[in-house]
């Protein structure tokens, strides 16, 4: 066949080949980087939700502890929203959404329930990049 001795065609990469190589390199690097940054952001959100869930559960456990240590204490509380005072381990009344902390404990009498039955709801509120968030745990307890 024909042999060309034109050295112009045998010299390195052309501008188009270089551009294509850079484009392929950028796509292969940016794809995993985007996935990694999204995974890190999601793990942070999941950590906040798990912590809020544990705090809401702790609110329920505090009310159960108060019931078990002083049976008349919860009976004396009216249906309302409270915040937990961890220093004296008491419940202090507050308006929904205006408690000093981000954790509220609601005590109510369930409809059709006995006079000794209470519905306890513990809610934790926080704000993240998705807006206002809440985690709620609820349980029925029987007063002693």
Give the integer Cα–Cα distance in Å for 57 and 69.
Answer: 18
pTM given for the model: 0.70
Is residue 130 situated within a structural domain?
yes
Q: Is the dihedral of CA 100, 104, 109, 114 positive or negative?
A: negative
For 101, the enclosing helix (H) or strand (E) is none
Residue 4 pLDDT level (bands cut at 50, 70, 90)? low
Residue 117 pLDDT level (bands cut at 50, 70, 90)? confident
How many domains are contained in the chain?
1
Give the integer Cα–Cα distance in Å for 122 and 139.
Answer: 9
Give the integer Cα–Cα distance in Å for 122 and 30.
Answer: 43
Rg of the chain taking only CA atoms, in angstroms = 31
What's the domain range around 61?
15-142
pLDDT digits (tens, 9 = 90+) for 46-98: 999 999 999 999 999 988 898 888 877 777 788 888 888 877 788 888 887 67
Q: What is the average pLDDT across 6-11?
A: 57
φ and ψ of 63, to 5 deg: -65, -40
For 69, the enclosing helix (H) or strand (E) is helix 15-69
**Secondary structure (3-state) at 23:** helix
Is residue 87 situated within a structural domain?
yes
Is residue 5 situated within a structural domain?
no
Is residue 1 situated within a structural domain?
no
Is residue 4 situated within a structural domain?
no
């Amino acid at each position: 066949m024909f042999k060309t001795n034109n050295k112009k065609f045998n010299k390195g990469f052309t501008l188009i080949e270089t551009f294509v190589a850079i484009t392929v390199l950028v796509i292969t690097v940016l794809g995993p980087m985007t996935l990694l940054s999204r995974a890190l952001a999601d793990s942070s959100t999941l950590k906040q939700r798990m912590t809020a869930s544990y705090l809401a559960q702790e609110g329920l456990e505090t009310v159960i502890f108060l019931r078990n240590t002083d049976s008349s204490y919860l009976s004396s509380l009216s249906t309302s929203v409270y915040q937990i005072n961890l220093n004296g381990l008491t419940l202090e009344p507050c308006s929904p959404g205006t408690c000093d902390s981000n954790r509220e404990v609601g005590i109510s009498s369930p409809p059709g329930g006995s006079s000794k039955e209470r519905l306890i709801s513990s809610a934790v509120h926080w704000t993240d990049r998705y807006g206002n968030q809440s985690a709620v745990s609820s349980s029925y307890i029987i007063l002693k």
